[in-house]
């Protein structure tokens, strides 16, 4: 019967390749873990930073990262929170920023964007430059002349809530962000609004589970 013979030199070469392959995989995994654990390593997009959807898997753990702003947070300035949708099935913070620039803004108009797994990770939180710099958001569509965006924290869910539901991860992350902001800034429950509460619009859409979301906030509070 024929046998396959491997010389000592060949065995050494194979062993060396295996060692280098293992080291390469280890280094790749290490870099990946650092990217997950340190939000500062996430690529800046649309003038902000993105937090991995793997952060803060329960309660508001990991939400301290959203309070690491370049300008000091003036607690008394922020009075309310409004939740909107992008009105598109797919999208990202960069896509929305591009649209806002076409409307004459200098970039992303919202303070936070939460992805749905299309062009952002499912549950990925993009912290916009307006929040990092502690600037007011863009004026909301459909609001009356007496409405002012001053002191309003604007959070956008990627998706079209009139055509399909948001993902469970999106809603969970939204509840985490809203709870953390409300606690830190002493924003009462009656100042946490949906876009449609303030304007002639359906945003964030008929599929936004308002009762379920309020229960999530209560459980985290």
- Taking the complete model, does pTM exceed 0.75, yes or no? yes
- Domains of the chain: which residue ranges? 1-37, 43-220
Cβ partners under 8 Å of residue 2, min gap 6: none
What is the CATH topology of the domain spanning 43-220?
Lysozyme-like (3.40.80)
pLDDT in tens, the chain (221 residues): 333 233 333 333 333 333 333 334 333 323 232 222 233 333 334 678 888 665 444 455 578 889 999 999 999 999 999 999 999 999 999 999 999 999 999 999 999 999 999 999 999 999 999 999 999 999 888 887 778 899 999 999 999 999 999 999 999 999 999 999 999 999 999 999 999 999 999 999 999 999 999 999 999 87
Interior/surface letters 134-169, b for 16+ CB within 10 angstroms, e for the rest: eebbbebeebeeeeeeebbbbbbbbbbbeeeebbeb
């Amino acid at each position: 019967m024929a046998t396959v013979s491997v010389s000592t030199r060949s065995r050494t070469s194979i062993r060396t390749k295996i060692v280098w392959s293992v080291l390469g995989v280890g280094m790749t995994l290490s870099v990946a873990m650092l990217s997950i654990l340190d939000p500062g390593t996430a690529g800046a997009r649309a003038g902000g930073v993105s937090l991995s959807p793997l952060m803060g898997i329960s309660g508001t753990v990991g939400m301290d990262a959203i309070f690491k702003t370049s300008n000091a947070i003036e607690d008394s300035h922020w009075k309310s929170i409004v939740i909107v949708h992008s009105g598109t099935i797919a999208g990202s913070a960069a896509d929305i920023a591009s649209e806002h620039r076409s409307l004459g803004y200098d970039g992303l108009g919202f303070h936070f964007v939460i992805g749905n797994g299309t062009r952002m990770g499912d549950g990925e939180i993009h912290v916009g430059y307006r929040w990092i710099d502690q600037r007011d958001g863009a004026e909301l569509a459909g609001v009356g002349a007496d409405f002012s965006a001053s002191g309003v924290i604007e959070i956008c869910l990627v998706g079209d809530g009139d055509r399909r539901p948001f993902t469970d991860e999106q809603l969970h992350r939204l509840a985490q962000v809203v709870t953390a902001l409300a606690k830190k800034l002493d924003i009462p429950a009656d100042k946490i609004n949906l876009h449609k509460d303030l304007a002639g619009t359906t945003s964030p859409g008929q599929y936004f589970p308002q009762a379920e979301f309020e229960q999530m906030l209560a459980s985290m509070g």
